[in-house]
A and B are shown apart, each in its own frame.
Chain A
C-alpha cells in the first residue's frame, strides 16, 4: 500500500465534498436545526397545568355552584395545578373533541359529579386526578399519610440529554451512508470508476479513502454537534472525550463501509437511494434515536440490539450520560468493528467498477 495514493484519493474525496456547498450545509446545519428545535420543545418549564371545564351550574343549584367555586378557587394563584372555565352544557362534546380541555366536569343531580375525558390521553388522566383531589378535599376528605415532596430537574435526565447522543448517532449513520453512496454511484455512472480501474490504483485504497474522508468530516461534525449540545443545550458529557471520539470514529467507519457495500453494484442514484432508505429506515425506528429501544418487545430485541445504529447510539449514550468507559462499551465497539470489516471485505469482492 502506498501512502501517497491513499492520501491523494482521500484528499480528492475531501475536496469534492467541501466544494459542494449544499452538501456541507445539510451535513452541519440540519442536525443543529433539529437539536435547536427540540431544545425549544423540551425546554425547562413549570409543571403542566390541567385544563378543565365545568358545565355552568343552573341557577339555584347550590351544590353545583359550590363545586364550581371550589374548582375556581383551586385554579387561582400562580402555581395552580389547574385552569378552569365554564362552558354551556351543549358544548361538552365540542371541547372534548377538539382537545381544548382535558376534562369536563358535569355536575349531577343529588350533588355528585360526572367526569368526561379520554382516558387514553395522559394529560386527561392527570387532569382527572387533580380535579378529583380538589373536589374531594373541598367536601371534607382528609389525606391520612403525611407527604413531603422533593422535585428534581437534573441535568442528564431531560429528554434533550437523551436525544442528543441519538441525534449524533443518526447523523453519523446518515452522512456516512449518503455521502459515500452518492459519490460512488455518480463516479460509476460517469465511468470515472472504470477509468480508475484501468490504472494501477489499489482497489482497497480506493474504498478506504472513502472511509477515511468520512472520518475527517466526522471530526468536524462531532465538534459542531457536541459543542452545540454542551454550550447551548447544556447536555453533559460525563465519560471521557477520548472514548466518545473513539466510538464515534469506529461507528462512522462502520457506516462508511456499509455505505460502500450498499453502493457496490448500483448504477444509478435512484437505485442506490431506494436501497439506502431500505437499510436506514428500520434503524431510525428501532435503534433508539428518539425513544429508548428497550420499548420494543423482547422477541425482537436480539435483532434490535444487533443493528449497528443501536450499538452506536447506546455506546454514545452510555459514555455521555452515564460516564461509561471502554470497559462498558466494548461490546458496542466490537459489533461496529465487525460491521466495518465484513462490509468492507464484501464490498471489495462484489464492487462493480464499470
Chain B
C-alpha cells in the first residue's frame, strides 16, 4: 500500500484481538475505511461489532493488533483524536433533567471548534424540541439528540453504533434520512448494525462480521452479486418433513445454491421464471404439497445466510 493510499484511510484496523475471559469477542479483525465513505459493520448480535467500534473510539483497549484512526493512534494522540471524532454509543441515557439545548451546550463546550447548536438542531430536526427536557423525548427523538451530540464537534469521523436499534419504523426511516444527509456532506461514517436493510441502504461498503472476524467485504451490490443469484425462493413443507433431498433440488437448472431449513428449503436462483416450472413439476410427479412458496430479490441477509448457514437475527 502506498503512502498516498494510507493517507486516504480514515480508519485502519489490523489483526485486532480482544477477549473477555474465554470469549474471543474480536478475533483477528481487519478493516480499512477510506475517507468520505459510509462503512458498515454488519453482523448478528455478539459478533464483536461493538467491541471493535469501542476500541476504535478509544473507549476500550485491544489485546493485540493495531488501530490507526485518522492516521494516528490512541496511545499517542488521544486528545487530538477526541476533538475530531463524533460518537454515538449503542445505549446512552443522557441526563433526563436537562433540556435538549442544555445538553447540546454541554457537549459543545468540550470541543475547541464545532458547529453552532442551532445548526445541529436544524440538522437533526429537533429545533422545535430545543426547550424540552430529555426525559420527555420519544425514543427516536432521543436517538436524534444523541446523533446531534456526536455532530456538535463537527467530527471528521463519525461512529454510529446500532443507531436505529429499538426504534419504530418511522423513526428509523427518519434517522436514515439524516445519515444520508451526512453522507452528502462527505463525512466519513462507520456504523454498526444488525439490520441488513439499514446496511444496504446507507453503506457504500460493508464488512460482514461473524465470531469476531470479517467474513466478507464489499459494496452491498458486490456482496449480493457474489451469491451468483439474483433471487431467493423459499419453499415450505407441511409437516416439517423434508420429502426431497436438497441435492435433488440443486440439480434443477438455474439453481445456484441452496439449503435445507427447519421448515423447508431455500434456493438461490438466477431466474425465478426458469426454476418455478421445474419445482411445480417435481411436486406433481412426487406428490409433494408445498405449504409455502415465496420469492424475493437477494439481499445481504441472504449473503449472510450463504456464508454462515445461519440467519442474522438468529444471533
Q: A residues near B, CB below 8 A? A: 2, 4-5, 7-9, 11-12, 15-16, 19-20, 187, 190-192, 194-195, 197-201, 354
Partner of B106, one of A9, A197, A354: A9
A200-B59 in contact (CB<8A): no
B82-A192 in contact (CB<8A): no
A198-B59 in contact (CB<8A): yes
B94 to chain A minimum Cβ distance, whole angstroms, is 6
Besides A12-B98, A198-B58, A199-B107, 12 other A-B contacts (C-beta < 8 A): A5-B106, A7-B109, A8-B105, A11-B106, A12-B102, A192-B92, A194-B59, A195-B94, A197-B59, A198-B87, A200-B83, A200-B110
What is the bound-complex CA distance between A198 and B84, given in angstroms?
A: 11
A195-B102 in contact (CB<8A): no
Interface centre among B85, B98, B106, B112 (most CB of A within 10 A): B106
A200-B111 in contact (CB<8A): yes
What is the bound-complex CA distance between A196 and B193, given in angstroms?
A: 23
Listed by A's residue number, 7 A-B pairs whose Cβ atoms lie within 8 Å are: A20-B97, A187-B95, A191-B93, A198-B57, A198-B58, A200-B83, A354-B59
The 0/1 profile, CB within 8 Å of A marked 1, for residues 87-122 of chain B is 101011111011000100111011110000000000
List residues of chain A with CB within 8 A of the CB of B89. 191, 194-195, 198
B59-A199 in contact (CB<8A): no
Number of A-B contacts (CB under 8 A): 68
What is the bound-complex CA distance between A248 and B82, given in angstroms?
A: 38
B82-A16 in contact (CB<8A): no
Q: B residues near A, CB below 8 A? A: 57-59, 79, 82-83, 85, 87, 89, 91-95, 97-98, 102, 105-107, 109-112, 133, 149, 153
Provide the main secondary structure of the chain A interface: helix
List residues of chain B with CB within 8 A of the CB of A194. 59, 89, 92
| Nearest-neighbor residue (CB-CB) of A200 within chain B | B82
A12-B110 in contact (CB<8A): no
| Nearest-neighbor residue (CB-CB) of A201 within chain B | B110
B97-A15 in contact (CB<8A): yes
What is the bound-complex CA distance between A19 and B134, given in angstroms?
A: 13
B215 to chain A minimum Cβ distance, whole angstroms, is 28
Q: Given A12-B98, A200-B83, A200-B110, are A195 and B105 neighbors across the interface (CB < 8 Å)?
A: no
What is the bound-complex CA distance between A166 and B196, given in angstroms?
A: 64
B59-A191 in contact (CB<8A): no
List residues of chain B with CB within 8 A of the CB of A9. 106, 109
Q: Given A5-B110, A200-B79, A201-B110, are A16 and B95 neighbors across the interface (CB < 8 Å)?
A: yes
Q: Given A198-B89, A354-B59, are A8 and B109 neighbors across the interface (CB < 8 Å)?
A: yes
| Nearest-neighbor residue (CB-CB) of B80 within chain A | A200
What is the bound-complex CA distance between A273 and B61, given in angstroms?
A: 31
B288 to chain A minimum Cβ distance, whole angstroms, is 53
What is the bound-complex CA distance between A191 and B142, given in angstroms?
A: 14
The 3 A-B residue pairs with the shortest CB-CB distance in the complex, in nearest-first order: A5-B109, A190-B93, A8-B109
